[in-house]
Structure 1
Amino acid sequence: MEFRKCLFFCPTFNYQIKQAQVVALQSWSSIQNVVSIESQSTSPMDFYNIATFFSVLGICSFLVYLFHVLWLNGESRRMILRRQGIAGPLPSFLLGNIPQMKQMLPLSPNQSNHENMKGHHSLMHLFPYFKQWTKQYGQSFLFALGRSQFLYIADNNFVREINCFTSLDMGKPAYLQKDRGALLGKGLITTNGAVWSHQRKSIAPHLFVDKVKDTLKLMVESGEALVNSWGNIIEANGGIADIRVDDYVRRYTSYIISNVVFGDEWETGMEMFPKSLSLIKAMCSPTILSGVPFYRYLPTETSREIWRLTKEIHSTIMGIVKKHTESASKDLLQVIIEGSKNGDLGPSTPDQFIVDNCKDICIPASEVTAVTAIWGLMLLASHPEWQTRIRVEVLEVCKDGILNFDMLHKMKALRMVVLEVLRLYPVTAFVSRQALQNLKLGHIEIPKGVNIWLWLLELHFDPKFWGPDAEKFNPERFAHGISRACRSSQAYIPFGVGARVCPGQSLAMAELQVLFAIILSNFSVTISPSYRHSPQYALLIEPEFGVNLLVQKI
């Protein structure tokens, strides 16, 4: 019954039925014409039987087409990869490996107190199916989510091939626009080909290092606002306070990116971020994993909430655009507006181009950086020796001066900590790609339509790259840079890889360094007794119950 309901909402299904009806009617008309000329003795029952035959023929043709789309397409792709020695769990019809993946998930989320997690930060338990299948099939294997075929990769040699692949024949998976359309739209993160190339050339240069230098003042301002807020709470609580840091960190990152993107209209832009967070939470159960085809089109309570938030975010951004056209500001929004007037926009209208690219910059730059910073504060609170080391370094480098980019560049211990946080807690668990044409990576031929997932956790925690302490917080491993930290630089990819590497990585690194420097030069932090260590994976790997710290003024 559920499957029939889903077909009702499928445009392809309706189109095929209509085509079958048209064929039947045309056949009936032709038969009538022939019979009326050559014979007047054929009974109406004969005409009915002929029409019924053609209707059944049309429906059977559609069923064959449906079977081809839902099974044979995927099976042919799997067969090509199997012949090359890549195996995987057997998928079921329609749902793929989703039922098996659900069975392997723990009945209750992993929760432990801080003492139990100390010295063990691995997040591998969040993905038990990948852990099990890696043991069974090796570091490269096949699996299916519905009718979408995936090639799982945790092989650094394969990562190297993707890193060197510059053709537009490989891009982002189509499911990102389908399942994540409300959140990401058709912006820089999800588009491919000439449309993506135009967006990248327009936007990326304004997020590079030379532009980041100009934003450092914003970072310091935002950090000082956080320090003032915490200072007031600490004073009101007699010198030490139990603070849940999540919202304060999100305010820090959203203030920065709102100024970078919206310029003088940053205050209005700030209204978008709570709605974006609500949208992320509403979409935390990916429909590609739900096992219900076309579920996102059903008017469920969650769907209606997603539609409402999407409309409100669109309205907020376009309201800023309307005011922005009257100003001469040269912020990132102006760059996006100019990009909407030239170049290949694909199926997007100029307004949609602007809104989707604003979302693709603002939401990841704010939320992904914020969650990384939250995990970073938890790790620093767990390792007071690194707090002291950073605090001393900041005081030595800055002395009585105001923090600037050159000073930030001299803080080696601070950078080492940020790199280690990104290794242990890669907030985006996967790097995703799709073969847009038949292509070859190394010795593997990948058929068109196959999705590729690089699992960061397997690479970031592999002892053969990182040594026996791979699961431990040890920033010292980065003392001589990334290339000397592990046996393969391809095993460290927190910002992605290849042509689609995150253009905002310099901005994110600077935000994290400034935040940690400002907090640790003003406060000492320890883990609160109320903190519960329970990483969860929804759209991002984040702390399920937030991070509570005991904060004390120095």
Structure 2
Amino acid sequence: MEVYVLNILPISLLVLLICGVAKVSYSIWWKPKWLERNLKRQGIRGTPYKPLVGDMKEYIRLISEAWSKPLSLAHQIIPRVDPFTMNNFQKYGKLSICWFGTTPKLIIMEPEMIKEVLSNKQSHFHKPPLSPLITILTRGLTTLQGDNWARHRRIINPAFHLERLKEMVPVFTISCGKMMEKWERMVSLQGTCEVDMWPEFQKLTADVISRAAFGSDYEEGKKIFELQKELILLVVEAMKTIYIPGFRFLPTKKNRRRKKLDKEITSMLRNITQNKWNAMRTEQSKADDLLGLLLQSNNQESLPENECNKKSNEMTLEEVIEECKQFYLAGQETTASWLTWIIIVLAMHPSWQEKAREEVLQICGNREPNFESISHLKIVTMILNEVLRLYPPVIAQYLHAYKDSKVGNINVPAGVDLTLPTLLIHHDSELWGDDAEVFKPERFSQGVSKACKDQLAFFPFGWGPRTCIGQNFSIIEAKVAMAMILQRFSFKLSPSYTHAPYTVMTLQPQHGAQIILCKP
């Protein structure tokens, strides 16, 4: 018996070794090559597969080179912001393949195909599998799929209805008013002052979302968001390094800090949420902020603690906490990016700045803007849309085919990532005309649907069922902020400003957004 066991051990080890080698070979070589042949047989061209690394080396080379040099004061920003996708498009056309690791990315620039993907009628396209580093930031709405996503969206929707958002305009004016007072003090000292708008708008949008989300608890909300900002920086830093499975569990200084921040943020949000819930139940507080509206929409007698006692029309306490984290991630950085580029672009085009100011003064006078007045700002709306076209805060939409699917005449096998390059489509001369790289707000004078050859060529907030739920929130916030700024200040680019857009989750000014403010 002992001899038999000894004889079988080497065979078992050999079988395990062969299975391991086969599994690795399948992941690294056979599956990627099969996907590549499948796509290329359909006439889709692209970069050849390179085992393990794919196109990462070329991507890093191009982006490093692009980010090392600033641009002239023009809106031809694609070569700096997304040189890799631009190169792929120029070499292989509007439907092409590239590789990130062992996964092929299908880059789609045809509006009709994009419409099919985003309408998601087959429910085969969802967000790509998330890195564990991302899930530490939030497991809220934008990260969810299928039934979980549908349930969360249904519960959250009422908090973002337009009628609810109208009531929040005074919240926006309070936050903007504080920023205006600070700038006026700075200007009054010497008649002008230089301000870096990027951190200013980050502070503004954090204050807005804190007040809107947590009402009277907004100061505590701001503390949470400050911790979350530190966590974001640590996550982004980690994502720039080579991924080593299991490394995040090692007790390094930064790993310990990430874990501590996550626990602290979650604990503070749990306290705020539970206190708000108890106050609403005893009628000591109203559903007058996003958290209150979310809890009201949950429509239950008590907050379920876990998945086991959760029903289809409610969220657990932990899920509510994750949605609170999502408020900040989705509602702060993107709007801060948009406002920053609006100011930069209007500083580059003083005639449009003056047109916008005249409209604001004619409609709002020196009064604080309200929902009624901002809804009549036609020129401001045209400018806001044109800046969103040229400088979309999120430069691409990313999806993953979880099942074999058909898009147009293309069969997309399961396992393929999809990239819908918003920035490139927004600058496409075939869709927007020969002046696609020109700041021309009048192209939106008859609304978004008539601004270009295809309505789906403009999708800064996404499209279809997964259109950003906070779209109207962001638009109202941007209009209020710009109306109040234009009422009080004129502005121009500082000589120290360097035109260098780049992406760190959102489209940002790499070296800041230095603007000189003065009284109009």
For normalisation by structure 1, the TM-score amounts to 0.85
When structure 1 is superposed on structure 2, of 400-409 and 365-374 the one drifting more is: 400-409
- Partner residue, 1:28: none
Structure 1 residue 122 displacement after superposition: 1.9
> What is the alpha-carbon distance in structure 2 between the residues aligned to residue 289 and residue 75 of structure 1?
26
The 8 Å contact of residues 124 and 457 in structure 1, kept in 2 or not, is answered as no
2:74 to 119, 133, 139: 119
- Partner residue, 1:421: 387
For normalisation by structure 2, the TM-score amounts to 0.90
> What is the alpha-carbon distance in structure 2 between the residues aligned to residue 551 and residue 481 of structure 1?
31
Structure 2 residue matching 1:448: 3-state secondary structure: coil
- Which AA in structure 1 matches 2:501? P
- Cα–Cα, structure 1 residues 123 and 289, in superposed 2: closer, same or farther, change >3 Å? farther
Residue deviations 1:221-261, cap 9 Å, x none? Answer: 1111111010111123x111111122322222122222222
> What is the alpha-carbon distance in structure 1 between the residues aligned to residue 400 and residue 312 of structure 2?
21
When structure 1 is superposed on structure 2, of 335-344 and 252-261 the one drifting more is: 335-344
- Partner residue, 2:52: 94
> What is the alpha-carbon distance in structure 2 between the residues aligned to residue 544 and residue 214 of structure 1?
35
> What is the alpha-carbon distance in structure 2 between the residues aligned to residue 409 and residue 119 of structure 1?
30
Structure 2 residue matching 1:480: 3-state secondary structure: coil
When structure 1 is superposed on structure 2, of 64-73 and 87-96 the one drifting more is: 64-73
The 8 Å contact of residues 173 and 190 in structure 1, kept in 2 or not, is answered as no
- Partner residue, 2:163: 210
- Which AA in structure 1 matches 2:16? G
- Partner residue, 1:49: 7
- Partner residue, 1:63: 21
- Cα–Cα, structure 1 residues 286 and 369, in superposed 2: closer, same or farther, change >3 Å? farther
1:162 to 113, 117, 122: 117
- Cα–Cα, structure 1 residues 411 and 92, in superposed 2: closer, same or farther, change >3 Å? same
Residue deviations 1:416-472, cap 9 Å, x none? Answer: 111011111111111112222222222222122322110011101111111222112
Q: How does 1:138-153 map to 2 (within 5 A)?
A: 138-153=93-108
The 8 Å contact of residues 119 and 463 in structure 2, kept in 1 or not, is answered as no
- Partner residue, 1:198: 151
Structure 1: 5+ residue stretches without partners: 1-31, 33-43
When structure 1 is superposed on structure 2, of 410-419 and 449-458 the one drifting more is: 449-458
The 8 Å contact of residues 532 and 545 in structure 1, kept in 2 or not, is answered as yes
Matched, 1:189 2:142: yes
Matched, 1:259 2:225: no
> What is the alpha-carbon distance in structure 2 between the residues aligned to residue 106 and residue 163 of structure 1?
31
The 8 Å contact of residues 77 and 501 in structure 2, kept in 1 or not, is answered as no
How many residues align? The count is 504
Matched, 1:370 2:336: yes
Structure 2: 5+ residue stretches without partners: 281-285, 305-309
- Which AA in structure 2 matches 1:57? V
Residue deviations 1:288-322, cap 9 Å, x none? Answer: 88465565555555444433332232222112123
- Cα–Cα, structure 1 residues 400 and 126, in superposed 2: closer, same or farther, change >3 Å? closer
- Which AA in structure 2 matches 1:252? L
- Partner residue, 1:10: none
1:287 to 233, 239, 248: 239
Structure 1 residue matching 2:168: 3-state secondary structure: helix
- Which AA in structure 2 matches 1:61? C
> What is the alpha-carbon distance in structure 1 between the residues aligned to residue 246 and residue 453 of structure 2?
44
Structure 1 residue matching 2:468: 3-state secondary structure: coil
Structure 2 residue matching 1:490: 3-state secondary structure: helix
- Which AA in structure 1 matches 2:375? H
Structure 1 residue 496 displacement after superposition: 0.8
- Cα–Cα, structure 1 residues 298 and 458, in superposed 2: closer, same or farther, change >3 Å? farther
Structure 1 residue 525 displacement after superposition: 0.6
Structure 1 residue 344 displacement after superposition: 5.0
Structure 1 residue 286 displacement after superposition: 7.1
- Partner residue, 2:376: 410
1:484 to 442, 450, 459: 450
Residue deviations 1:347-366, cap 9 Å, x none? Answer: xx934312221112222101
> What is the alpha-carbon distance in structure 2 between the residues aligned to residue 74 and residue 312 of structure 1?
41
Query: Aligned-residue CA RMSD in angstroms?
Result: 2.4
Matched, 1:357 2:331: no
Residue deviations 1:254-285, cap 9 Å, x none? Answer: 22222222222111111122223223322335
Residue deviations 1:104-163, cap 9 Å, x none? Answer: 334472443xxx622334233222221221122211112222233321111212112224
Structure 1 residue 323 displacement after superposition: 2.1
